[in-house]
Amino acid sequence: MNNKVKTMIRKRFIFVAIACIASLFCVSFSFKTQKNSLNNTDQIIGVWQIVSPALIGEGQEKIKIITKERFIWTHSINGEIMMSLGGTYSFDGDIYTENIKFGTSNQRIAFGKKFINKIRFENNKMYTSGGYENDPRIFNEIWERVE
C-alpha cells in the first residue's frame, strides 16, 4: 500500500472512531436525561395539605398522601372523615393523573374515573389544575407539603 492510501485509511478510521464516541456520548446523555425525568416522581411523594381554595368552616382539613404508586386524599371535619378518594396514579412530566379505585360512599360517582391535572412545584407547594376526564369543570388547587 502506498502512503496516500494509508493516510486516507487512517483519516477514515479516526473519523469513524470520533463519530462512534460522539454517538455513545449522545446516547448516554439521552439516557441520563430520561432517567432524571423519571426521578421527578420523587418530588410528588409525600403528605400534602390543601391551602387553596380555603376550606369553609372551622376544624376542616383536606390531606393528600402520595406514595410511590398510590394516592389517597381525605376531607375531615373535626377529625371525622367526611369524604375520601384513592387509587393509583401516573406522573409524566407535568401531567399527574389519578386513577380512582375507592373512596367513601358519597364519592362513589368518581370510582373508575381519571382525574387529570397539570402540575407544577414551587418551594414547598404543589399547584394543580385539572378535572375529571370528559368533564369541563376545572379545579385549581394549591397543596403544601407537610411531611
More confident residue, 112 or 42: 112
| pLDDT at 75 (0 to 100) | 95
Peptide bond into 53 cis (omega under 30): yes
Q: pLDDT tens across 85-129, in order?
A: 999 999 999 999 999 999 999 999 999 999 999 999 999 999 999
Quick one: DSSP state of residue 42? G
User: How many Cα atoms sit within 13 Å of 133 on the Cβ side?
Assistant: 12
What span, in angstroms and rounded, lies between the C-alpha atoms of 96 and 121?
12
Strands (E), the chain: 46-52, 60-66, 70-77, 80-92, 95-103, 114-122, 125-132, 139-145
| pLDDT at 57 (0 to 100) | 79
| pLDDT at 54 (0 to 100) | 81
C-alpha cell, 107: 364519592
| pLDDT at 133 (0 to 100) | 93
Q: pLDDT tens across 1-19, in order?
A: 666 655 555 555 454 445 4
Residue 25 has pLDDT above 50, yes or no: no
Contact call for residues 116 and 140 (beta carbons, < 8 A): no
Q: Report in angstroms the alpha-carbon separations of 88 from 65, 78, 91, 104, 115.
A: 12, 27, 10, 16, 11
Q: In degrees to the nearest 10, what's the CA dihedral of 8, 10, 16, 18?
A: -120
Single out the residue of 143, 120, 138, 124 nearest to residue 50, CA to CA: 143
